[in-house]
Each structure stands twice: as structure tokens, then as C-alpha cells.
Chain A
């Protein structure tokens, strides 16, 4: 385990925390790419997903689009966009790549949240005289929130891991020590960078796990133990956390 010790020695060496490529800068770059991409993706995907969930229309199109988007390798897309946009627009190329990566999870989270709502609840809301808009804002969105947060959780995890490849086109981030270490066979640097990315992913995952719990409306939370409560379980059915990060390097 010398390698691990070396990696930690590298991580804790003061020179890694000073200068233009100090680890805190790289960490900030990693986070800012992630936040920007997920935020833009959310602006596109969440309203769209809600519209699909609310009207029940367009789901097949969304599924087909998401399937295609998931199948696109982020590494290749980034290289393509850098070539097409030119080197002055590398940050834009990277952002577009990560937005496309984040959209499927967010889109699915938004409409799945609505679909998971017991139809009788919506019918009841309509029966007490709620308008379509009221049903949307007071019933569907709050009840759909846990799955939407789950969508955010996996989108963020995929993006934060994939942002590592940004360093391949000189955009910094925590991939920089990994890519540099790769060329130089400095394994302790590679491992040090990997440890930071993993820690960042774990911290973000934990935050979103808390958010997911908090997103369950009060009335529902009391219902957790009940078998039918399962449908609003904040831990959704299949692979919750780890997921289709494409080129998650």
C-alpha cells in the first residue's frame, strides 16, 4: 500500500495547494462545471419532464431521445465539439457535452415523479375543484419531488465524474492531475486526483440523499412503513446512485 501512502503524501503536500493549478482551484473548476451543466440541463429538462408527466403526452419521444443521449460517448462528443466550436470555445464545448449528459436523468426524474403519483390522488384533487394549474403546483410537483431529486442526484454524480475528461482539452478540473500523471506514469498523482474526485462524488451523493429525504412531503413521510408507501419511496426502484455515467473517467 505504498502507492496509497504516496498518494496521500502528494495530496497533503503544501505545493499542491498553491499556484495556478492548486487543488482547491481544480476542485472549484470541477464543481463549477458540474453546477453550470446541471443547472442548464434542469432549465431544459424539468419543465419538459413536468409537461410530459402532467399531460401524459410525449413520453415515448422523451424516452427515445434519452436513450439516444445516453448512448453518446461524452469523451467523443467533447472532442467533436472542441473541433467544431474551435479552441476559443472549449468551455462552451465542455458545457454542452455535460448538459447533454445530465438531461436524460433529469427528464426521467421529472416525469417519473408525476407518473408515480397515485391517479386517485389527482382525481381527488380535481374532485375538490382544483384547476389544472393548482393540481400541477400543489399536488403533482410536491409529490413528484422525491423522484426529481433522485434525478438530480444521478445527473450530478454522472457529470461530476465525467468532468474529469475536461482536462484532456485543457479545461482544468480534477482530471488535470489524473491526465498529467497518466502521461508521466506518476501513479501517486493519478491516485491522489482519483481520491479527490471520489470524495467529491461521495459528499455530493450524501447531500442529495439528505435532500431526497427532505423532499418527501410531511404527510407522506408518516406513511413510509406502509406497503403502498413504496411508490413514493425516496430510494427509487432500480440503480439509484451509480448509473450511466458515460465516459465517466
Chain B
């Protein structure tokens, strides 16, 4: 493990880059999925389309997306923008479904009660629907976060540097600890972000603490 102790600077800076690329993509994917998921939930006619189209996005192999997007959109393939946009697309593919399912999980009776006590549509969405959909959305966000952080490593194959660099460089130089360090660093930031999201969920949604395990398991099965 000499290699690791002598290259902590490199691992550290790659980790920061990796984290930055992933966090931007996760945040952007989340922000874009809320309106998309809401539209899909609110307008039944659009629902099939939105779910199908976002689901389709997910079947595109990421390496191909990282190659093709820059050609179509006109930015350099080796730019961080390229990776962040591709990761955002995959985040949307997971999150839209989670947002729609989350809004579905809100008891219609609760929604009617909110209307009855005088909540307007906008206020009801922000104060009732969204918080109650929160646990399911959070489950989706956690899946998205771990997946994004892991997927980002493929960026190195188109020249976007992050922890994936340790995989390709380690393979060329045949340094096993280098590759292993990359895997461990990716796993650690994925687990840390996951813990952070879980903690944020507990703070923001204290009522969800006893959420039915069956529902959580179902989400895991499907992901």
C-alpha cells in the first residue's frame, strides 16, 4: 500500500473533482426531475410519455452518450460539462419515476383535507404533497446519488479526469493498489453522500422515520 501513502495528494484531488462533478449532476438531476415528475403525475395523458422517454434515456450506454452528446451539442468531449450533462440525464432517468411514485403515494384523503382547510394548489403542493412524497423521493435520490458517483468513473474514457483515472492509469502501470484506491475512494464518497442524504431526510422529514420497511424494500428491489 506504499503507492497509496505516497499518492494521497493525487487521490485527494481526484476525489474532490469526482465529488464536484457528481454533486452538480445529482443536484441538477433532482431539480429537473421535480417539475418533470410532477407533470407526469398531474397529467395522466403525459404520464406514459414522460415515464417512457425518461426510461429510454437509461438504456443508452453511458460511454456512447459521452461520445455522441458533444457532437450533437457542440462542446468538447473532454470537458467536465460533457460528463456532468450525461450524468444529469441518467439522474433524471431514475428520479422522474421516483417523484411520480412519491406523489402517488400521498393519500388522496390527506390532499382533500388540505383543500378543505383552504390550501390553494401551489401551497398544497409545497406544504402537503411534496413533504408526504418525500420518503419515496428520498429513496430515489439515494439510489441516484450512489449510481451517479459510481458511473462518473467512466468519464475517464472520454478524457474527463476523476477517480476513474486511477483505473486506467493503474491498469497501464499494473499497480493494483492504485486501482483499489480508486474503488475504495468511489465507494466511500458514495456511502458518505448516502449517509448525508439519509441524515438530511431525517431532519427534513421527521415523520418518515417509521416508514414501512416493505415500501423501502420494494424500492430497493426495483433498483
* Chain A contact residues, CB within 8 Å of chain B: 3, 59, 63, 66-68, 70-77, 79-80, 82-84, 104-105, 108-109, 111-113, 115-116, 147-148, 150-151, 153-154, 157, 161, 164-165, 168, 174-175, 178-179, 181-182, 187, 190-191, 193-194, 197-198, 201-202, 205, 231, 236-249
Contacts and interface: CB of A to CB of B under 8 A. Distances in A.
Given A72-B186, A242-B58, A164 B220 contact: no
Interface stretch (B4-12, B66-74, B123-131): B66-74
Contacts of B136: 237-238
Contact of A238 (B90, B190, B191, B223): B223
Contacts of A179: 63
B208 interface: no
Contact of A70 (B62, B150, B157, B158): B150
B179 A187 contact: no
Interface stretch (B23-31, B113-121, B164-172): B164-172
Please provide the 7 A-B residue pairs with the shortest distance between their CB atoms, ordered closest to farther. Answer: A112-B217, A194-B64, A242-B58, A238-B219, A71-B190, A249-B63, A108-B220
A187 B222 contact: no
B218 interface: yes
Given A71-B150, A238-B218, A247-B153, 9 more contacts: A3-B71, A71-B149, A73-B150, A75-B167, A76-B167, A104-B220, A197-B61, A237-B222, A239-B223
A113 B65 CA distance: 34
Chain B: number of interface residues, binned into ranges:
35 or more
A242 B97 contact: yes
B42 interface: no
B176 interface: yes
A63 B220 contact: yes
Contacts of A73: 150-151, 153, 163-164, 167, 182-183, 186-187
Contact of A79 (B61, B63, B167, B222): B167
Contact of A191 (B56, B59, B68, B191): B68
Nearest to B193: A71
Instruction: Name the residue in B67, B157, B218 with the highest tally of chain A Cβ atoms < 10 Å from its Cβ.
Output: B218
B40 interface: no
B109 to A, nearest CB: 11
A32 B99 CA distance: 35
B168 to A, nearest CB: 8
A237 B215 contact: yes
A59 B62 CA distance: 32
A75 B170 contact: no
B222 A240 contact: yes
A164 B171 CA distance: 18
